[in-house]
Structure 1
Amino acid sequence: MKFDDILNDVGEFGRYQRRLYIIVVILKFTISWSPMISVFINAPVDHWCKSPEWNPGCEQYGLSEEACALAQKEGSIPSNYTSDGELEYAQCEKYNVSGVGFWPGIDPANYSSGTTPCDSGWVYDDSQYKTSTVTDFDLVCGNDDLTQVSQSIFYGGYLAGSIISGILSDIIGRWWTLILSNAVAVISGVAIAFSPNWWFFATMRFFMGFSNIAFNIILFVIGTEFIGPSKRYLVMLATIGYAVGYMVLALCAYFIRSWRTLQLVMTAPLLAIFILFRWLPESARWLISVGKYDKAEKVIRKVAEVNNAKLPSPLFTTEFKEEQDRILKAHRPTALDLFRTPRMRLRTISLICIWMVNSMVYNGLSLNSSNLGTNDYLAFAISAGVEIPAFIMDVFIIEYFGRKPSLIFCMLLGGVACVSTAFITPGVVLTTVAMIGKFGITGSFTIMYLYTVELYPTNIRGVAIGNCSMFARIASIVAPLILLLSKYWAPLPLVIYGSMAVIAALSALALPETRGKKLPETLEEGEKFNIEERA
């Protein structure tokens, strides 16, 4: 008796699973906020040196406060016209006009003794962002790279979370790993909003990244493990919650222009999530895999009760328990089992390649989002919105064509589009092609989550998806470094991204098809998965 046989008896997607599905969608709604909020809280802001304290100043000339500030700016900050005819002020230096009196129309070039660095701080343009980490921590003029460093640290948390969460979920269970991850997210999220300096901010972002990826990975695993083989594809549709949350973040950021307030507002819903855990069960598959049969039977009978289904008593026979205990005692699964046997090793290497390339291409195409327009909020929302039809498409193509051909198609679409953008001039065509690429790579990203879950046995499933996610986060960190190659040939980075997507798509040919198949429960079943059908 396998767990998928039990699901056939109690219902593959009955009332109980539909209720669980709704919870997963709601929880997915918040996952996009942690990685994407950096677009707004780390937003670059125009700045210039603080003007000297002229006494008497421009007030004596009857200028308004705004006109006075502009007059002092013009009287102390070097400026010139760009090739587009726009007036541009220096951001990191000012004229040395100490001892020079102010009057309207002062030409500091005639009275200063050269320029000097901003020794009195900066003035920030608050027309779009009232505050950001840039304004609060003075991340300008030599410190501006720290905004990107903090994002790399965030992805470092992703890397750590990918490794630890998979191991933790296979040891203490899916449910407790989710609880701990959300608790870390709440604590670090609030702490970020009250960061006294950049170092504290960056450290808390690390923990936010850690908790976010852990929550995302395990939520997908526990959602998948309760749905039967013929309905398992529906878990992918729950990812729409991610995209909708993505767009909601743009809406919130549009109305909340102070980064600390925005951080608190986007953290607050995480507290409410704890209420939903009351109806979120532990994975019965995992309970069986670790020999907790009484608890597993309690969960399964609850599923049967809600779905109005009947189960035999006892559910787990003595022979079944003895067989499971024998397997458990014979070998306790570890991450090494991902590479121990020939077929499992081949699948793991192929999936690592696919996960890494998907991450690289996704980030590469995201760099073209500025081509959508100058409005940060609209561009952000469009970039999120294009993912929804990709999720919907996935649900149909993986059931009609299968997991493997669908994954290959989506990766090829994203890869070809990525290469194409390198040879298209900026404009509507480039934006359209970039969004087609985003559409394709989003589709493959979602498919590979489900595909990975289906390919590995229950007792190492958390470790497997955590391992693949770990390599994907390494790719996220490395991807920007590839952009440095543009100094040799401008299109080279995108050509590399696209070429790697094509190669990764071909590597998927080594994977077996999983559509409609029962999930493997043991390492032996995982190694033999689909072999009988091929023979």
Structure 2
Amino acid sequence: MSKSSSKEPHTFDTDRLMHDLGQFRSFHLMNYLLLAFTVFAAALYAINYVFLAADVPYRCVVPECEASNSTDYSPLWLEAELPAGGRERRCSRRSPLDPQESCDGATFSEELQECDQWLYASNDTIVTEFNLACQEWKRTLVGTIHNIGMLFSLPIFGYISDRWGRKRALILSCTLVGAIGSLKAFSISYEMYVIIEFLETLAGASAFPAAYILTIELLGQDKRVLTTAFLGILLVLGGLSFAMLAKTFSYWRTFILVVYPPSLLFISYIYLLPESIRWLLSKGYKEEAVQIIMRAAKMNKVTLSDETMKQLNEEKQKPVEQKKEESEEQGLWMQVLKSPIIMTRLAICSWWWITCTFVFYGLAINSVSLAGDKYTNYMLVVSVEVIAVVTNALVLDRIGRKRTLLVAYIVCGLSCVAITFVPKSLPWLVTTLYLLGKIAITQAFSGIYMYTSELFPTHARHSLLGFCSMVGRIGSIVAPQMPLLAIYVDWLPSVLFGGAALVAGGLMLTTPETLNTRLPDTIKEAEQIASRKITPAGVTEDIQMNNSRL
């Protein structure tokens, strides 16, 4: 072998190998089941603040009127004592003109004064526990702190995943969220709660990305859409279970102690879950990869092709020095910075992620403010995500990634903007447009995971996916503040949701289609996506396309 050829880092045909191993046999089904539990658990924690930090009805305490019965939430004199209106009614009060007179039928002063004590309708959330009445910013800040933790988590665990392995990143994230999240149940102050909320998210926010990367790297290119749909359904089931558990265990401390501790069992995945074969080969860990490949072939009862066996034997026989030479690469970010195509693609993907997190979480958070039971509303909004997941499974492999995501962004944008112009006398139409926007943004969010993964190379896939997702958390950081904004300008959140989605749809026109392409293993292969395709036999060939496209 010549010196130049010995430095080719990715000579192994991993797509052919995955095809030889089969797709839905014992080895794969076992791993799908193991990964399914991690995705289901991730959905339970994703936006727990929607219920744990939910608003509860409360009113001012009037000492002059409540000496005999301070637990009556709606006494007869209440309407005369409290002012009309939203926040003023909860945070201001009037005093009886004659303190000696019974408050029932008493005359109250017209002068308003700030409340200093409140009576809560329930103690289910931290609003009651930490006395957050009339401090709406503290309540919504919990969601923002949660998403700031995600912003820091994704690049950290993305680096761990690309440097030390997908398996390590997944197990670390899943077990830490169980340990740290359980501590929230023992919070003795609001400050302690938000600190643990940040640490919990810092540890656990990367569980789903790690599980997603592991899952798609188990497969050939023809099964990515089905895998994405599979994980999307699990997220829906997890979201529905979250709402049902929150309704069953409505007291926030009880909910935490029921939901979080089981995640400590994911430590057992050290022995149960194999590392990504594709990652091992891309990093030069040939012997460990061969061991997993042979075990998978045995479990699946398949015989590897002669060409694959020849490549495996050649990899095993390479001297250590040559393996090290092949695995030596420039720093990841130096490679990215030197590639204008990857840099531009990274910026565009980041806006897609900002839009998805902003609109997806914004609509989910606002769902509990719709008319009716908040748990039912949340389950309804989560349930319609199945429509998006099934739609993606049907169209992504037929009309392509770009067209599917373009339509999803445009439909979401138009639906959200249209809500602004619907009269309040037509609440059913508002709900319909709301659900249509939620379906569309879920379709975009589900598809963007796969599309982003297909645009970047194996050795940097999780890091770059993590970077896009990290930047995207700007959207989820802002989203919890939309209920606050709606207090002042009720139509503005919908317009912001719709505008962001329409811009994302426009940017979709600037990137290449990845339908029927193999996962790129190097920066060079990622740059050439627009000019290469995968044939049914699994062989990549050039096609006549404009190489200047991203």
Which residue number in structure 2 is paired with residue 529 of structure 1? 529
Give the distance between the partners of 2:269 and 2:190, measured in 1 at CA. Answer: 34
- What secondary structure is seen at the aligned counterpart in 1 of 2:378? helix
1:316/1:192 Cα in 2 relative to 1: closer, same or farther (>3 Å)?
Answer: farther
Deviation at 1:66, TM superposition (A): 6.6
Q: Structure 1 residues 135 and 493 mapped into 2: Cα distance closer, same or farther (>3 Å)? A: closer
Contact 1:351 1:508 in 2 (8 A): no
2:31 counterpart residue number = 20
Q: Distance in 2 between matches of 1:411 and 1:371?
A: 24
1:168/1:435 CA distance change after superposition, 3 Å: same
C-alpha distance in structure 2 between counterparts of 1:437 and 1:37, whole Å: 22
- Partners of 2:522 and 2:108 lie apart in 1 by 78
* Residue 472 of structure 2 is aligned to residue 472 of structure 1: yes
Q: 1:367 to 1:208 in 2, by over 3 A?
A: closer
> Structure 2: which 5+ residue stretches go unaligned?
1-11, 532-541, 546-550
Distance 1:195-1:370 versus aligned 2 partners, 3 A rule? closer
CA distance in 1, matches of 2:13, 2:56: 58
Change (3 A) 1:401 1:373: same
Q: 1:146 aligns to what? A: 138
Which one of the candidate residues 400, 403, 419 is aligned to 1:402? 400
The alignment status of 1:417 with 2:415, answered yes or no, reads: yes
Contact 2:154 2:205 in 1 (8 A): yes
Question: Structure 1: where are the runs of 5+ without partners?
Answer: 60-64
* Counterpart Cα distance in 2 of 1:466 and 1:175: 16
Aligned residue number for residue 224 of structure 2: 232
Secondary structure, counterpart of 2:543 in structure 1:
helix
2:19 corresponds to which residue? 8
SS at match of 2:119: strand
Cα 1:480–1:246 shift into 2, 3 Å = closer
- Output aligned runs, 1:124-523, within 5 Å: 124-126=120-122, 130-141=123-134, 143-237=135-229, 238-276=231-269, 278-311=271-304, 312=309, 315-318=312-315, 325-329=324-328, 331-366=329-364, 369=367, 372-426=370-424, 427-479=427-479, 491-523=491-523
User: Partners in 1 of 2:100 and 2:447 — Cα distance?
Assistant: 68
Q: Distance in 1 between matches of 2:138 and 2:518?
A: 48
How far apart are 1:235 and its partner, in Å? 1.6
In 1, Cα distance between equivalents of 2:100 and 2:438: 56
Cα distance, 1:138–1:320 mapped onto 2, change above 3 Å = farther
Instruction: Quote the residue 1:105 is aligned against.
Output: 104
Query: How far did 1:325 drift?
Result: 4.4
Structure 1 residues 78, 514: closer, same or farther in 2, change over 3 A? same
The answer to whether residue 122 in structure 2 is matched with residue 122 in structure 1 is no
Give the secondary-structure state (helix, strand or coil) at the position aligned to 1:48: strand
Opposite residue 133 of structure 2, the aligned amino acid is V
2:543 alignment partner AA: E
Cα gap change, 1:53 to 1:492, in 2 (>3 Å):
closer
Contact 2:36 2:234 in 1 (8 A): yes
Name the CA distance, whole Å, in 1 between partners of 2:317 and 2:348: 34
Quick check: 2:39–2:207 contact (8 Å CA) kept in 1?
no
Q: CA deviation at 1:318?
A: 4.7
CA contact 1:250–1:381 (8 Å) conserved in 2: yes
Q: Which amino acid counterpart does residue 105 of structure 1 have in structure 2?
A: D
- Alpha carbons 1:139, 1:146 under 8 Å: kept: yes
* Cα separation, 1, equivalents of 2:317 and 2:13: 10
Deviation track 1:224-246 (CA, whole Å, cap 9, x = no partner) reads: 10011111212212221111111
Give the secondary structure class of the aligned counterpart of 2:167. Answer: helix
Cα displacement (A) at 1:96: 5.9
Which stretch of the first structure deviates more once superposed, 294-303 or 26-35? 26-35
Q: Report if the CA contact (8 A) 1:412-1:501 is conserved.
A: yes
What residue number does 2:538 align with?
none
Q: Which residue of 1 aligns with 2:548?
A: none
- Residue 91 of structure 1 corresponds to which residue in structure 2? 90
Output the aligned Cα RMSD. 3.2
- Tell me the matched-pair count: 515
With 385-394 and 33-42 compared, the bigger mean Cα shift is at 33-42
User: Residues 133 and 259 of structure 1 are in contact (CA less than 8 Å); yes or no, is this contact kept in structure 2?
Assistant: yes
CA spacing shift, 1:378–1:54, aligned 2, 3 Å: closer
- What corresponds to 1:62 in structure 2? none
Give the AA of the match of 2:464: A
Q: Residue 282 of structure 1: SS of its match in structure 2? A: coil
Question: What displacement does 1:282 show?
Answer: 1.0
Give the CA deviation at 1:420: 1.6
Distance 1:165 1:116, change over 3 A: same
**Does the 8 Å contact 1:355/1:469 carry over to 2?**
yes
1:320-360 deviation per Cα after TM superposition (whole angstroms, max 9, x unaligned): 9588644432x234234334213222322221222122222
Give the C-alpha shift of residue 512 in structure 1: 2.2
* Distance in 1 separating the partners of 2:279 and 2:357: 28
